Amino acid sequence: MKPYYTDNYVTIYHGDCREILPTLPKVDLVLTDPPWNLGYFQDDNKHWDEYTDWLSQIKDVCLTKADIVWIFQSTKAVPYVAKLFEGWNMFASVKGFCQMTPKHIPNAFDVAFFNSHEKYKGNGRNWHLGHMNRGTGHPTARPEDTVIYILNMYDCNIILDPFVGSGTTLWCAKKLNRKSIGIEIEERYCEIAANRCRQMVFDLTV
């Protein structure tokens, strides 16, 4: 399949990850933030049943592509999807601060589920305070510093994100001189991610 965008570090495919994922080779790490179930605004378990079935399929395919898998979920979704991640570890991502109070109290956080693996080299802390990305063109962009924190937990060379969005995972991997593959179903987000990843990244390591 022809990539939407490619350079020496990043490859982006435009399409449905359910169709593209099976065609991709194995990678070292899957780090992704799937769309959340907007049906949680309605008191209807049907929405959650459909969502958990869909997420279960995505999770199972991701596990065929990498031994290390991280999947972010809204705290609103956790009571419904936690059963899919029984035995996995949990990681809290605190996103920015409340703009309405001088006390700057953290006002939002999500949870990532991740399976343990021998390549993990984190410090054992199961949370990170990230600073919200501004001007990415995506309503729920993952904080760059949180993504970099997670990527630095592992000695991985190739990262896969089946839900690219504005391209934060790919951009952060490139900043760390690691290769990445991304899939995005919305062409407008493919273009945003491609434009971010076109920016030059200099290797400043010594």
**24 near 200, Cβ under 8 Å?**
no
Domain annotation covers residue 206 = no
pLDDT tens for each residue of 122-142:
666 788 888 766 666 666 678
Check residue 102 and give its pLDDT: 46
Residue 203, domain member (yes or no): no
| Residue 69: per-residue pLDDT | 97
Instruction: Write a three-state SS string for 154-204.
Output: ECCCEEEECCCCCCHHHHHHHHCCCEEEEEECCHHHHHHHHHHHCCCCCCC
The verdict on residue 145 lying in a domain is yes
Query: Residue 17 has what pLDDT?
Result: 96
pLDDT of residue 6: 97
205 located within any domain? no
Quote the number of domains for the chain. Answer: 1
* Domain extent at residue 144: 5-197
What are 28-42's pLDDT values in tens digits? Answer: 999 999 998 766 656
Residue 73 included in any domain:
yes
Per-residue model confidence (pLDDT) at position 27? 98
Residue 175 in domain: yes
Q: What is the pTM of this model?
A: 0.87
Within a domain: residue 139? yes
Q: Which residues of the chain have pLDDT under 50?
A: 98-106, 206
Supply the pLDDT for residue 10. Answer: 98
CATH number at residue 169: 3.40.50.150
Question: Tokens standing for 77?
Answer: 């979704």
